[in-house]
Amino acid sequence: MTVVPDITLNNGQAIPQLGFGVFQVRPNATVAAVTAALRVGYRHIDTAEMYGNERQVGEAIARSGVGRGDVFVTTKLNNGQHRPDAARRAFDASLKALGFDYVDLFLIHWPQARRGEFVGAWNTLEEFHRDGRARSIGVSNFHQHHLEALFADGGTVPAVNQIEVHPYLTQDRLRAFCAEHQIAVEAWSPLARGRIAHDPAIAAIATATGRTPAQVVLRWHTQRGDIVFPKSVTPARIEENFAIFDFELTGEQMAAISALNRNQRTGPDPDSFG
Ligand code: NDP
């Protein structure tokens, strides 16, 4: 049985380095996907109000027989909900949908900097952390300048920054900035939404290691120290993506994958989204 390493966040809380993401998993497919993931051994689920499947995530966990305390669950504050009252209502609604009295991690999903409300939203997330309903709080899609705006306001340093990272967008500068400030990096779309499966350089390393392209890339992420939660609705891939802790990439293989960087996003730039 695979043992997933924990990463210790800046507040001392442990988070499994490998989890399961449910973006674009339709609500009516979510119970089956999360159930399959929990059976394989995943103990970390990444959802969001925006994904429309919090209720089904909570239902799958409740039915699984896995104790609430044994699974790490993240959800996120949706766009347009940054004002304090809206954020409080949204957080209550997320807990209710999940059927939980706390989440392990609650994130601001996007900074929406043009609205100028994310620092206030952060202060409201600090309330949820103080009252114990969010064990950790963090941000998502924050550039360095968004993080600097939070630092200027004082207060809690985010436990994580969840950003797009994969071999075509290695995010070296932002990752280094986060490391300097003890902010753990969570790499979203770790497989570049499946595109890395067709890359010849990755295929060559997959052949050399006797692994699949997805396993090679997930291993590259975790050897760099990032947290990942690949999404799949395909049972065989859910299993495949979990089996990455019984082999190691050489320094040369790591460098060859990092060299694929072309600063190419699969999603929007946080400066222009929302
Ligand atoms: P991923 O990089 O995880 O790729 C998912 C795609 O890859 C799906 O099409 C899936 O197909 C396919 N796939 C999965 N496993 C394999 C495999 N072993 N071989 C080949 N193809 C595979 O993309 P996501 O965008 O879903 O990102 C993962 C998670 O990150 C999300 O679910 C979400 O939790 C989070 N996220 C956060 C964002 C944010 O703004 N904070 C934005 C985007 C994502 P299939 O399902 O058909 O098997």
Report the pLDDT value the prediction gives residue 203, as an integer from 0 to 100: 98
Digitized pLDDT (tens) for each residue of the chain, 274 residues in all: 689 999 999 999 999 999 999 999 999 999 999 999 999 999 999 999 999 999 999 999 999 999 999 999 999 999 999 999 999 999 999 999 999 999 999 999 999 999 999 999 999 999 999 999 999 999 999 999 999 999 999 999 999 999 999 999 999 999 999 999 999 999 999 999 999 999 999 999 999 999 999 999 999 999 999 999 999 999 999 999 999 999 999 999 999 999 999 999 999 999 998 7
**Burial track 181-197 (b if 16+ CB lie within 10 A, e otherwise):** eebbbbbbbbbbbeebb
Rounded to whole angstroms, the Cα distance separating 168 from 191 reads 10
CATH number of the domain residue 188 falls in: 3.20.20.100
Neighbouring C-beta atoms of residue 172, cutoff 10 Å:
12
Report the pLDDT value the prediction gives residue 273, as an integer from 0 to 100: 87
Residue nearest to atom 38 of ligand 1 (CA): 188
As for how many domains the chain has, the answer is: 1
> Does residue 113 belong to any structural domain of this protein?
yes
- What is the CA(22)–ligand 1 centre distance, in A? 8
User: In testing the pocket of ligand 1, which one of 15, 23, 265 has its CB within 8 Å of the most ligand atoms?
Assistant: 23
Residue nearest to atom 3 of ligand 1 (CA): 230
Ligand 1, residue 232: give the atom nearest the CA: 46
> Does residue 62 belong to any structural domain of this protein?
yes
> Does residue 267 belong to any structural domain of this protein?
no
Q: Please, are residues 78 and 108 in contact by the beta-carbon 8 Å criterion?
A: no
- What is the CA(52)–ligand 1 centre distance, in A? 16
> Does residue 247 belong to any structural domain of this protein?
no
Report the pLDDT value the prediction gives residue 171, as an integer from 0 to 100: 98
Residues of the domain holding 157:
6-194+224-234
Catalytic residue among 42, 51, 102, 168: 51
Residue 221 Cβ < 6 Å to ligand 1: no
> Does residue 273 belong to any structural domain of this protein?
no
pTM of the model: 0.98
Residue nearest to atom 27 of ligand 1 (CA): 189
Our answer to whether residue 42 is catalytic in this structure is: no
Rounded to whole angstroms, the Cα distance separating 259 from 261 reads 5
| Burial (Cβ within 10 Å: 0-12, 13-18, ≥19) of residue 223 | middle
Rounded to whole angstroms, the Cα distance separating 230 from 260 reads 19
Report the pLDDT value the prediction gives residue 274, as an integer from 0 to 100: 74
Q: Which helix (H) or strand (E) holds 222?
A: helix 213-224
Residue 190 Cβ < 6 Å to ligand 1: yes
> Does residue 254 belong to any structural domain of this protein?
no
Report the pLDDT value the prediction gives residue 2, as an integer from 0 to 100: 80
Look-up of token digits 């995943």: 42
> Does residue 108 belong to any structural domain of this protein?
yes
> Does residue 249 belong to any structural domain of this protein?
no
